[in-house]
Amino acid sequence: MKYLKLFILLLTVCTGLAACSKNEEIYGIPTVTFSISGHVSDDKGKPIEGISVRFRNDAETYTDAEGNFEFKHCRTFGTGGDTFGEYLLFRDVDGAANGAYENTKAYVTFVRNEDVKTGGGYNGDYRAHDTGIVLREKPTE
């Protein structure tokens, strides 16, 4: 169990730092940046560690020991506007180590950060914070 927690911690740190590394600017393609933070818990309010959180196929991170996750200033394709919505995918990837939970999709609305200037194919920065996700335990067979 000690090694599993160490593995999840390393995985969280390594993937959290690299969560947005694939998002490179491509000339001629409109892009936006986004940030999101949130918390994943079970239906009793207990935080869940080690849950994969994926935005499209662009970015992935994992929840920490307190169930928190965060993406900061990730770049993705987008045309702008006041808001945009996107599904995040939450997956239990560590098996039954800390409980077994059903995979969940959650629709999140991102709101434009008006303080960030746009132009040249860059269509703005968007944020969604304090996103709370509740995962249901998988039924026992």
Q: What is the pLDDT of residues 83-141, one digit of tens each?
A: 888 899 999 998 777 889 999 999 999 999 888 888 878 888 899 988 899 999 988 76
User: Residue 5 carries which side chain, given as an amino acid letter?
Assistant: K
The region, left, alpha or beta by phi > 0 then psi within -120 to 50, assigned to residue 113 is beta
pLDDT of 2 higher than 80:
no
> Residue 1's pLDDT is what?
44
pLDDT of 16 higher than 50:
no
Interstrand relation of 83-92 and 59-62 (parallel, antiparallel or unpaired): unpaired
Residue 44 main-chain phi, psi, to 5 deg: -100, 0
pLDDT of 11 higher than 70:
no
Task: Tell me the residue length of the chain.
Answer: 141
> Residue 136's pLDDT is what?
94
Position 26 confidence tier, pLDDT thresholds 50, 70, 90: low
What pLDDT digit, counting tens, does each position of 47-84 carry?
A: 999 999 998 877 899 999 999 999 998 888 887 788 88
33, 93, 108, 34 alpha-carbon torsion, rounded to 10° = -10
What pLDDT digit, counting tens, does each position of 75-84 carry?
A: 888 877 888 8
> Residue 31's pLDDT is what?
86
> Residue 8's pLDDT is what?
41
| 124, 111 Cβ separation under 8 angstroms | no
| 76, 39 Cβ separation under 8 angstroms | no
Tokens of 57: 């196929």
Closest CA to 81 of 48, 51, 111, 46: 111
Q: How far apart are CA 34 and CA 56, in angstroms?
A: 12
Q: How far apart are CA 75 and CA 91, in angstroms?
A: 22
